[in-house]
Amino acid sequence: MAAENDPSAMDAEPHPPSGTRLGKVALGICSFLYLAWYAGGWVIFTTGWFSTNDKVLVSGWGDCVFLSLAGLLTLLIARRDFGWKELVEVTVFVLLGSAAVEIVGVKSGFPFGKYMYTESLGAHIGGIPWIIPVCWFILVINAYIICSVLVVPREGEISRDALVLLILITSVVVTLVDLNLEPVAVNVKQYWSWMDRDRAFYGVPRINFFGWFSVSLILVSALCHMLDPRRWKLSTAWGSLCLLGSIQLFFAVMNWQAHQYAPVLISLNLIGILAIGLAYLSGK
């Protein structure tokens, strides 16, 4: 009875841990900065209010800031379900792993085909812009979160078939997202150029997408062992979908303006299908 009447005991429960409060504050601040930068980019690159010279001046460093904010936001979204130690390990793994693959790709043409980065995306490390591994991190982690919630049961053991299905579907989603990004990066922003354009998809050789699928298979297979897919919450998956969907929408509009219509249809249908899946789970 004394415990029930003790004001300090009554006040102790409602207050969340300080780490949780700080995480929410950090997520809120990062979301605001991301949306503000996103809105500015939308005005600059999808309206006719700015000249081509203005767009070129802003494009490289502006996209680096945009992607850096998206990368930080991805980390904070994932932080809702996992600890910093696990996420730091995963972040280092994805950044270093994707950087190594990109460096090999630039020097050998394997597994994406022969390509070369321009100077538009800032400083290079090993022949690739420093921001490129961040792009891999954004796409792979968010796709993994969304597909984990859609494919893997929340409780009980995960069957081998479920894991294989998760790896395959996540890799397909990452590849389809890249299919929307590549034509803009190559034809609109000229961030890199392809040496071989035979049988190309809007100037991007088809082998590039097989390369993305193959590398995604390896990265996602490792993620399944590093971050238990059953721990992702539905609300976290919605956060990842909003972030990934906003990036897809931005590039879809630029593809549409460049008369590159196939990527627009593919990307919007992809986000729509993922949203329907999460909405179905929300209604259960």
Q: Check whether 4 has a pLDDT greater than 80.
A: no
- Percent of the chain scoring above 70 in pLDDT: 90
Predicted local distance difference test score (pLDDT) of residue 11: 38
Task: Identify the burial level of 44 via C-beta atoms within 10 angstroms of its C-beta, where 0-12 means exposed, 13-18 middle and 19 or more buried.
Answer: middle
Q: What does the DSSP assignment read for 44-61? A: HHHSSSS-HHHHHHHHHH
Higher-pLDDT residue of 9, 77? 77
Do the beta carbons of residue 128 and residue 102 sit within 8 Å?
yes
Residues in the chain: 284
Identify the pLDDT of residue 50.
64
In percent, how much of the chain has pLDDT > 90? 75
Which among 177, 119, 114 is positioned nearest to 143, based on CA atoms?
177
**C-alpha closest to that of 120 among 175, 188, 50, 35:** 188
What is the pTM (predicted TM-score) of this model?
Answer: 0.90
**Across 38-42, 104-108, 251-255, 256-260, least confident range:** 38-42
Contact between 98 and 141 under an 8 Å Cβ cutoff? The reply is no
**Residue 255, pLDDT above cutoff 80:** yes
Q: Sorting pLDDT into bands at 50, 70 and 90, what band is 19?
A: low
Q: Which residue has the higher pLDDT, 112 or 53?
A: 112
252, 267 contact by CB (below 8 A): yes
What is the model's pLDDT at position 3?
42
In this predicted structure, what is the pLDDT of residue 274? 98
Q: What is the pLDDT of residue 277?
A: 97
User: What average pLDDT does the structure give for the chain?
Assistant: 89
CB 144 within 8 A of CB 170: yes
Whole-number pLDDT of residue 24:
86
**Average pLDDT for 240-269:** 95
Cα(26)–Cα(42) distance, integer angstroms:
24
What are the pLDDT digits (tens) for 132-146? 999 999 999 999 999
pLDDT, position 29: 95
Of residues 192, 249, 239, the one with CA closest to residue 42? 249
**Residue carrying structure tokens 């409602």:** 14
Domain positions in the chain are 76-283
Structure confidence at residue 138 (pLDDT): 98
Higher pLDDT residue, 58 or 150? 150
Query: Which residue shows structure tokens 């789970």?
Result: 281
CB 165 within 8 A of CB 153: no
Mean pLDDT of 159-169: 96
125: enclosing H helix or E strand: strand 124-125
The dihedral over CA atoms of 135, 141, 144, 149, expressed in degrees to the nearest 10, equals -130
Would you call 40 exposed, middle or buried from its count of C-beta atoms within 10 A (0-12, 13-18, 19+)?
A: middle
**Looking at residue 115, what is its pLDDT?**
94
Query: Measured at the alpha carbon of residue 234, what is the angle toward residues 137 and 209, in degrees to the nearest 5?
Result: 35
Kindly state the average pLDDT of the residues 171-178.
Answer: 98
